[in-house]
């Protein structure tokens, strides 16, 4: 596992979106799901796109990198979803640098130590369950 250090970090939060459309007719008008769309069978369709949380920063080699950290943050804080107030807390309490681990597929994730450091910055006395 390759470990790199990320400095000058910035979080980008894109909230999820929900919409409802009517007048679905023809072959699609039966109760079913297709990807992130749910058809109710009565001519209506619900569409949900999930939120995204991406951390951008500079590595030791002066390369800019962007890493999706939503699943790591949700798991560390035992949360089901993100909201604006929680993202503001994260941005105000981010450490100066974090470590990223590269898995066998080549994608990067926050290291366990960095997750603990972020958790302790926001909740110094709360019990951590990871």
Lowest mean pLDDT among 35-39, 115-119, 125-129: 125-129
CA gap 94, 34 in Å, rounded = 38
130 pLDDT band, cuts 50/70/90, is: low
Task: Please choose, from the candidates 120, 127, 60, the residue with its C-alpha nearest in 3D space to the C-alpha of residue 90.
Answer: 120
36 — phi, psi (to 5°)? -100, 15
- Beta-strand relationship, 45-49 and 52-59: unpaired
pLDDT of the residue at 54:
95
CA gap 111, 73 in Å, rounded = 11
Q: How many CB atoms lie within 10 A of CB 108?
A: 21
Task: Please choose, from the candidates 11, 21, 120, the residue with its C-alpha nearest in 3D space to the C-alpha of residue 76.
Answer: 120
Pick one of 2.40.50, 3.40.50, 2.60.120, 3.40.1350 as the CATH number of 1-15+52-130: 2.40.50
Instruction: Tell me, yes or no, if the pTM score tops 0.85.
Output: no
User: Could you tell me the residue ranges of all domains in the chain?
Assistant: 1-15+52-130, 17-50
């Amino acid at each position: 596992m390759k470990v790199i250090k990320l400095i000058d970090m910035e979080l980008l939060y894109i909230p999820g979106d929900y919409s409802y459309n009517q007048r679905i007719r023809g072959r699609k008008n039966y109760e079913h799901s297709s990807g992130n769309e749910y058809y109710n069978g009565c001519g209506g369709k619900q569409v949900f796109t999930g939120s995204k949380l991406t951390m951008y920063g500079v590595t030791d080699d002066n390369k800019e990198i962007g890493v999706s950290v939503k699943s790591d943050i949700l798991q560390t804080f035992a949360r089901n979803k993100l909201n604006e107030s929680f993202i503001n807390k994260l941005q105000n309490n981010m450490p100066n640098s974090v470590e990223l681990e590269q898995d066998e597929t080549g994608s990067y994730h926050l290291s366990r130590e960095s997750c603990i450091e972020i958790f302790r910055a926001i909740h110094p006395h709360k019990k951590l369950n990871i």
